[in-house]
A and B are shown apart, each in its own frame.
Chain A
């Protein structure tokens, strides 16, 4: 990645050098040309003037402009034309008029040739600087990685370059230091500033067992971290890869511009020849040469070709800073047509860490907990884990014939008694009476309610709830206000789901949905309008893929990558608001840029053909057109997202 940075610097520096040198020779030409025109005083004789101009222009075009001339004329025998071909042809023809005028009666354009080349070089310099600025945030990301690591080796601390760190090494990070690579804390406690990578502004607490991300900053305590990922496998490397992918992804609206760009140069070459002959037929060779040169140098595919990529570059940089990674450019274009935003409940609206809130027992509560936990201990479901945690037991009862009924619950037998734990559906299927318990009360509180039965008799119920993320309410309020129809989708039953939805301000609920049916529901909604699905990327991958825009929410140290057009590296739902804002702002920048680029060419080229534009004016206009596009894209930064 370092090479890319160097390449860019090299490019800027080489343009800068050429810029200075070429103007040293061009300024005297400008002076000579306009001094006599403005004052009427002739400094030299006509022929001397032309020779002087030829001598001064020579190095500008053929030495400082050598690269451009070479690559430009190369296009004429390889048929890979670039804009260099236009500039090369334009300047060389203009220069030759200075020599030809000794033989024929034509105007000398050699001074103009030098000016065109100098302005071209200046334009390219400004453009390359502005392009570098556009990629500022990404550059910062690339430079973010730690250079060194302090490793514990046979009880001694040694400092080694980051490239020598191996998986399993124990790294020591002192307060204020950068965590060298991804790992897990084995000793120590601290809080870590992860804002540079996830955009999360509050420091995150870390203790033994916590995962840490490389390149984040340790705040106050000493941390001992075992390296788990290195090099290209780290979180930072993945983020950089994603941002890069985002920069080169295609937005559909650019397609036409790309098509035009690919045939642009040959078309302009032909047009320029036609322009010359057109004027030649009217008998004005001088005008013909001037107009033909103008056509060559005014036509600029750059503004067209840069319109989208430059906006994407600036946008992906801003996104990365805010923890938003847009993987697919189409998402940016689709965003303005979105009608529905569907949120998965668990892990998206809520924290995804359910806990037991209330227990209603018809038998001894300890016994109820023992039976329930013994069964739930065999399940990997987050709710099962919350019950096991709550019970906090060292020994469990032996369970036979354990079975999971997906979306309903679990069953098994303990001491010959059949135990069923699950939702109402499971109980009804097994014809178990629910008269003795008040499920409604639990569900109205937004609890996911588990019913425990023994030999077809209810022995208790447990209310499990998952705390809502701090930002969820605010984010949904903003999205509602923007006019989106927000919807919550969940496997919970209607009452529980409504209670939670009400807490965050969502009125539309799709409840009782089995995990595998989420994508079906998304498809149904799509008949009525375009849909964003927001989910955790692991369980919701099919729904994320099917939605018009899939927003995958990251969970701590892993990037949920499988599906998702947009990835949020931190869990907050405010990321959804920002992603919507950023996409819309980016798309409108792209549209503006394309408009200007098209308008410029549509207006400028006919004017050049008609001979209205002086070649120098044409070249200035050309240089400014691409600078305008790049600068306009940089203005995206001003937008508050």
Chain B
């Protein structure tokens, strides 16, 4: 049995966003608040430590919208995994 076989399939809409510019705890909560406002985003978990937001989204949500949400809060989305 493999990690890849089961776990990720269940969360197939999971995305990891690498974000630049977060340097304090309220930054992380800003990013979280802004991403949650995007329609289709179900859950958001932002880590200041990994500089990443792990989100659960509907597949029809555009990356562009995520990018906008991050920059609305004042930060930069560098990469989506």
Contacts and interface: CB of A to CB of B under 8 A. Distances in A.
Interface in A1-60: 3-4, 7-8, 11
A247 B54 CA distance: 11
B49 A134 contact: yes
Contact of B26 (A247, A262, A559): A262
B26 A310 contact: no
B51 interface: yes
Contacts of B74: 71, 74-75, 78, 80, 82
Nearest to B4: A233
A305 B28 contact: yes
Contact of B25 (A7, A305, A558): A305
Interface string B19-48: 011011111111001100000000001111
B19 to A, nearest CB: 9
Nearest to B46: A248
Interface residues of B, number: 33
A5 to B, nearest CB: 11
B2 interface: yes
B78 A248 contact: no
Contacts of B49: 131, 134-135, 247-248, 309-310, 312-313
B1 to A, nearest CB: 6
A245 interface: yes
Nearest to A71: B74
A346 interface: no
B54 A245 contact: yes
A615 interface: no
B52 A560 contact: no
Contacts of A7: 18, 20, 51, 78
A564 to B, nearest CB: 11
A561 interface: yes
B52 A80 contact: no
A583 interface: no
Nearest to A124: B23
A301 interface: yes
A593 interface: no
Nearest to B22: A82
B26 A244 contact: no
A587 to B, nearest CB: 17
Interface in A71-108: 71, 74-75, 78, 80-84
Given A80-B72, A83-B25, A305-B25, 16 more contacts: A3-B18, A4-B52, A71-B21, A81-B26, A82-B26, A82-B30, A128-B23, A248-B46, A248-B49, A248-B54, A301-B24, A305-B28, A558-B2, A562-B1, A562-B6, A562-B7
Interface of B: 1-4, 6-7, 18, 20-21, 23-30, 33-34, 45-52, 54, 72-74, 78-79
25 contacts: A3-B79, A71-B74, A74-B74, A78-B74, A80-B73, A81-B26, A83-B25, A83-B27, A124-B23, A135-B49, A245-B54, A248-B45, A248-B49, A248-B50, A261-B29, A301-B24, A301-B26, A302-B24, A305-B24, A305-B25, A306-B25, A559-B3, A561-B3, A561-B7, A562-B7
